[in-house]
Amino acid sequence: MDYNSKLAELQREGNYRQLSSVTPQGKWVLSGNNTLLNLSSNDYLGLANDPELRRDFEDWVGEEVYPLSAGSSRLLVGNYPVHRLVEGQVGRLFGREGCLVFGSGYHANVGILPALVDRGALVLADRFVHASIIDGIRLGGARYVRYRHQDYDQVEGILAREASRYSRIFIVTESLFSMDGDITDLPRLVALKRQYPHVMLYVDEAHAFGCRGARGLGIAEEQGCLQEIDLLVGTFGKALASMGAFVVCSSLLRAYLINRARPFIFSTALPPYQMAWTSFLLDRLESWGDRRAHLSRLSHLLAHALHGEQPSAQVSHIVPWILGDNASCIQASQRLCEAGYYCLPIRTPTVPAGTARIRFSLSAAMREADLFNLLSLLKTTSYADR
């Protein structure tokens, strides 16, 4: 392979990527001598740089010593009490008997399905699921179908035709999609699952855990179907401002994953000190309803300015502005940066060709006043195609 030619091709297509040199500081980023509002972060609750929260954590830790490295996988000597503590906390929050922590959301998604599927299984996955889920599906080796985005009628038709041919069928979706910010109708998928005893529902709540639902448990909580999700994946590295991921499931599936999920078996466990931070945050998750409500208000302000959308449960803290081609998207990103807003262009292969976009990612650390100039800019014809 000619790597120089491949890189040159990416540059011609507007898909060449480089590491950013900006420095994040709370809701801001420092870029050279400029301070920009950070609209590209997953710190949805604004916890990552909260100095008061950090001081409270240091008081909470006190004299307790948490190692900075686990030193091995959990199946060797890396299974510290704090790892078990966090799994117990998550299990109790969700009212589920099984919880298993992974090193990241990517580790979880590339490990769970390959552990659970075989050649006699079928995977039905929303076409817009995250790359980590797609990689996990491919690693599993089972037959799979990527159904049209949120086309539940197509899922129903596939189940009616194919259910009798497979020993196990997995329906796989995100609850809140990371690039479109739209919400899955989980009760509809639950209803389909109930028609077939060998169908299981796998839901990735990475972008909803912490910032949706009355207690911050995500879309499944919000839609009243927490106990119906067979495998619910969430991350600690987004709204919860920590590191790692988890799956809640039955105790049987947890035991099976401990024995079969390769990213869990063959990875060094998360640092105990990091897990202590996660435990501290989990204790406070339910109390951050005010942050979730504020984030919702910001989301509706931006969605209304950009798309004219009225208040709706479908509006989320991820608000896409689809511009189509890469060049227009890059140009819009540069203009917004010049105006004081750090908004990165999202291009293929992250999103389908022809749907390049600015992905506005909001944080509860922002104030409404922080967005006023942006809202005015987006209402002008030079910034948005009305």
Instruction: Name, in order, each residue with C-beta under 8 angstroms of 375's C-beta and a sequence gap of 6 or more.
Output: 301, 302, 305
Degrees, nearest 5: CA angle 289-183-330? 100
CA–CA separation, 115 vs 22, rounded Å? 39
The structure's pTM equals 0.94
DSSP string, 108-176: HHHHHHHHH--TTEEEEEETT--HHHHHHHHHH-SEEEEEPTT-HHHHHHHHHHHGGG-SEEEEEEESB
Q: pLDDT of the chain along its 386 residues, tens only?
A: 899 999 999 999 888 998 988 999 989 999 989 999 999 999 999 999 999 999 999 999 999 999 999 999 999 999 999 999 999 999 999 999 999 999 999 999 999 999 999 999 999 999 999 999 999 999 999 999 999 999 999 999 999 999 999 999 999 999 999 999 999 999 999 999 999 999 999 999 999 999 999 999 999 999 999 999 999 999 999 999 999 999 999 999 999 999 999 999 999 999 999 999 999 999 999 999 999 999 999 999 999 888 887 667 789 999 999 999 888 899 999 999 999 999 988 988 889 889 999 999 999 999 999 999 998 888 764 444 43
* Fold (topology level) of 69-286: Aspartate Aminotransferase; domain 2 (3.40.640)
In total, the chain counts a number of residues equal to 386
CA–CA separation, 361 vs 302, rounded Å? 10
CA–CA separation, 108 vs 263, rounded Å? 7
Q: Which two tokens stand for residue 248?
A: 């809640």
The CATH number of 13-45+288-378 is 3.90.1150.10
User: How do the domains of the chain map onto residue ranges?
Assistant: 13-45+288-378, 69-286
CA distances from 336 to 122, 272, 374 (A): 44, 40, 8
